[in-house]
Amino acid sequence: MSETTETIFSKIIRREIPADIVYEDDLVLSFKDIQPQAPVHILVIPKKPIRKLDNAESQDHSLMGHLLLTVKRVAEQAGLKNGYRVVINNGDDAGQTVHHLHIHILGGRQMKWPPG
Ligand code: 5GP
């Protein structure tokens, strides 16, 4: 794997560093955020090291759909019956800090709008 795609999330996928994993299959991994911003804060990532949403390609069509359906599954599993927020930080202006595509699931409290 090249330097440009190696991140802390690659290490979590390879079990080189621990994470509180809540769901896994061949294509995706989901684990609790280490610095939760809500009572429930879970990340869903593709195992394929796509740096950010902008780097997803047409060949990733079904993977992207699978990611969103995994969000729904994980949110249900976490008991978020009253709703939740789904966030993708894409690039610097959005404040993306880990350069491996990830979807945030935030829930367990009332969210505000607009986000900061
Ligand atoms: P971003 O700001 O890039 O959208 O989100 C990255 C998220 O990854 C942050 O919410 C941050 O707390 C989380 N994070 C960073 N490093 C780790 C880690 O080693 N383990 C876990 N579980 N989450 C991490």
Pocket test for ligand 1, best of 6, 32, 33 (most atoms within 8 A of CB): 33
Using CA atoms, how far apart are residues 33 and 85, in angstroms rounded to an integer? 14
- Position 108 scores a pLDDT of 98
Please list, in sequence order, all residues whose beta carbon lies within 8 angstroms of the beta carbon of residue 70, skipping any fewer than 6 positions away.
23, 25, 28, 30, 44
- Position 116 scores a pLDDT of 85
How many angstroms is it from 65 CA to the middle of ligand 1?
Answer: 22
How many angstroms is it from 13 CA to the middle of ligand 1?
Answer: 13
The pTM (predicted TM-score) of the whole model is 0.96
Residues of the chain under the 50 pLDDT cut = 1-3
Query: Does the annotation mark 102 as catalytic?
Result: yes
- Position 28 scores a pLDDT of 98
CB atoms within 10 A of CB 57: 9
- What structural domains does the chain harbor? 8-107 (3.30.428.10)
Give pLDDT tens digits for 55-72: 999 999 999 999 999 999
Return the residue whose CA atom lies nearest to atom 24 of ligand 1: 34
